[in-house]
Amino acid sequence: MSWLRRTLFAPVVAVLFSCTAPEGGEEVVVPEPPVAEVEPTELTAHGVTRTDDYFWLREREDPEVIAYLEAENEYTAAAMAHTQGLQAALFEEIRGRIKEDDSSVPYKDGDYFYYTRYEEAMEYPIHARKAGSLDAPEEVMLDANAMAEGHDYFAIGGRQVTEDGRILAYGVDLQGRRFYTVRFKDLTTGETLSDQIPDVTGNMAWANDKRTLFYVKQDPETLRSYQVFRHVLGTDPSSDELVFQEDDTEFSVYMGRFKSDEYLFVASTQTLSTEVRVLDADEPTGEFRVVLPREPEHEYSVDHLGDHFYIRTNDEAKNFRLVRAPVGDASRGNWDEVVAHRDDVHLEGFDLFRDHMVLSERSNGLTQLRILRWDGSDDHYLDFGEPAYVAYPQVNVDMESGVLRYGYSSLTTPSSVFDYDMNTREATLLKQDEVLGGFSSDNYTTERKWATARDGAEVPVSIVYRTDTPLDGSSPGYLYAYGSYGASMDAGFRSSIISLLDRGFVFAIAHVRGGAELGRAWYEDGKLLNKKNTFTDFIDVAEFLIDEGYFDRNRVFAEGASAGGLLMGAITNMRPDLWKGVLAGVPWVDVVTTMLDESIPLTTSEYDEWGDPREKEYFDYMLSYSPYDQVEAKDYPNLLVTTGLADSQVQYWEPAKWVAKLRALKTDDNLILLRTNMAAGHGGVSGRFRRYEETALKYAFMLDLAGLAEG
């Protein structure tokens, strides 16, 4: 900060710290945004100068910035103090539905059955295995509860075991910024090895020699994953060899291992282009070779079976098709088509077995699992029997197996794991999450509707409510969406939402453009110069739910996070009258400034998602919807904005600046609350129970505004 800012900011901090919890209904003091006291920053591009009064909030290490965020937290606590009892009750309700001593379904890999379990009252998982049989003694690989002691934040990432099951490599993040320290454990002796690799991603893969690990490192400033190193156990990590570097700043790198275990791969990916390199897993000192050279607008993914690479490609196929090619030469001239392109079906993925292939498809907005035999004697779909749901292959390690393990849930069916015999077509339920507290899916109804957007597009909507909830326009509504990157928001089960449904809320997911629920075209109609379709779809879905009697027009709440937080910022500016309250989690709201700053994480790799504002056409379009830039003097709805100081994807200063600017310009008396978790990143706090403290805060915020705080 400049001397001027340091001197004049001090009294503002004092004002902020004067906030106290209301006693006997006393008014809560609202923080005074430091507009007049702070020297503004002028940002100029394409002849347009934008004045940013809050640019200084970027200075993460400055104690006065920290004091400002902490004071905002105090104000939020004070403003919500009258709901503390409700928050506590909600937290206990939500936690009370969780089976605390729980375990995942074990899967077999090599000679071991691997699983994760939780113990009663403990926040973190225990990663364990059994040798040869589920009746064998348990071997604890990692007890995250013991490892997390003394840390405000703790996460394990990238667990990888050598092919013989002896050495475990794993990453540890103690801040939430997704910088991991990779460590190694000898699972036969329990000894933690001396090798440590700091400040890397959790993305890594073992070679077949059982002592060579390939891992990915990120740029310390932009956080772009761009380097692949080779580490040999017992050697100094500082001498690890760089085996690949991605120099194009629009690409990021991912490291993996094919299911066949015969090849390692490095994928360089950009929004519209891919390049995959492979290495014989038996030759760790060899050279990676390119499967298909990168080309503009050619996206592909690869797996391996026998003598062929199987390639999911969008070459002449907007919704993707599947081809195969010899491992020695995968060029287009050697392609054999396995699954043709279809205009009405999006091929999302595939899983290879010796006798079968499983396709993950999306049709009419819903996921489908399709089973095919290589000999052509069978081709069928699984029938899930509900109007809205999510289904997906789980861990399927053994290519020789005739059994597919898949996961399934819906808005009324808890998460379930099945084994499906692909020969007999028999599905066996292995586990369905036990929801405590008297939950019965019979008490709830789920529906799938279609809302007509203003341009005629039909937008799918997934809805759930208690069966006895009136649908006459008298029930409060809670609408959620994401709508970016082609990520589809499926109608999966979430036990926490029961606390709202049981109090009379109707919950809905708007499957807006920008996702890929209706195929690749649905995604492309919600990106770049079509981005505003995402925002207008959401508004139109809300209006539809009001008109159809699902939502009370005066009690509509909206939520989105990250890029979904951008959606929240946009719809708050565009239709502030429509929302009783808006919940924006880690919201990306300062679009133009971020996309013009190549030093900020994710910027250069996302030009093909949002556009490159160095080009005037994209600059003008972004500026026309950027939530921070579009804040103006008018009434706004109640807002609860949450962020994390260590967020590496959407920097904390974006929501902080947005809240300050809203407070300075808005013309109403509605609440605007900012809560910054000072020890968390983009995904929030660590621990399976602690995260629900924020959920309880959000639910209390909505219930209070809906007049149901006593319910």
Q: Which residues are catalytic?
A: 562, 647, 682
CB distance 621 to 613 below 8 Å: no
Q: What residues are paired with 290 via a beta bridge?
A: 277
Q: Could you tell me the CA-to-CA distances from 154 to 146, 150, 178, 478, 648 in Å, in that order?
A: 11, 10, 10, 31, 15
Q: Could you tell me the CA-to-CA distances from 430 to 31, 106, 406, 425 in Å, in that order?
A: 53, 10, 10, 16
Q: Cα 238 from chain centroid?
A: 32
Handedness of CA 228, 231, 236, 241 (dihedral sign): negative
- Enclosing H/E stretch for 254: strand 252-257
CB distance 129 to 112 below 8 Å: yes
Distant-in-sequence, close-in-space partners of 333: CB < 8 Å, separation ≥ 6: none
CB distance 608 to 271 below 8 Å: yes
Separation between Cα atoms, residue 633 and residue 125, nearest integer Å:
48
Separation between Cα atoms, residue 412 and residue 427, nearest integer Å:
20
Give 514's Cβ-side CA count (13 Å radius).
27
Separation between Cα atoms, residue 672 and residue 659, nearest integer Å:
7
The structure tokens listed for 380 are 């069928």
- Output b/e per residue, 141-162; b: 16+ Cβ within 10 A: bbebbebbeeeebbbbebbbbb
Q: Is 462 helix (H, G, I), strand (E, B) or coil?
A: strand
Give 606's Cβ-side CA count (13 Å radius).
21
CA-based radius of gyration for the chain: 26
CB distance 392 to 384 below 8 Å: no
CB distance 535 to 558 below 8 Å: no
Q: CB neighbours (10 Å) of residue 245?
A: 11
Separation between Cα atoms, residue 47 and residue 514, nearest integer Å:
30
Candidates 38, 23, 158; CA nearest to 82 is 23
What letter does residue 365 receive in the DSSP assignment? T
Q: For the CA atoms of 173, 176, 177, 179, what is the dihedral angle to 10 degrees?
A: 0
Q: Could you tell me the CA-to-CA distances from 150 to 144, 154, 191, 631, 671 in Å, in that order?
A: 12, 10, 22, 42, 36
CB distance 572 to 637 below 8 Å: yes
Parallel/antiparallel/unpaired status of strands 212-218 and 204-206: antiparallel
What letter does residue 509 receive in the DSSP assignment? E
Q: CB neighbours (10 Å) of residue 118?
A: 20
- Altogether, the residues listed in the chain come to a count of 711
Q: What are phi and psi of 280, to 5 degrees?
A: -55, 120
Q: What are phi and psi of 241, to 5 degrees?
A: -85, 130
What letter does residue 151 receive in the DSSP assignment? -
Q: Is 256 helix (H, G, I), strand (E, B) or coil?
A: strand
Helix boundaries (H) for 448-590:
498-501, 520-524, 532-547, 563-574
End-to-end CA distance of the chain: 48
Distant-in-sequence, close-in-space partners of 341: CB < 8 Å, separation ≥ 6: 316, 317, 318, 319, 320, 321
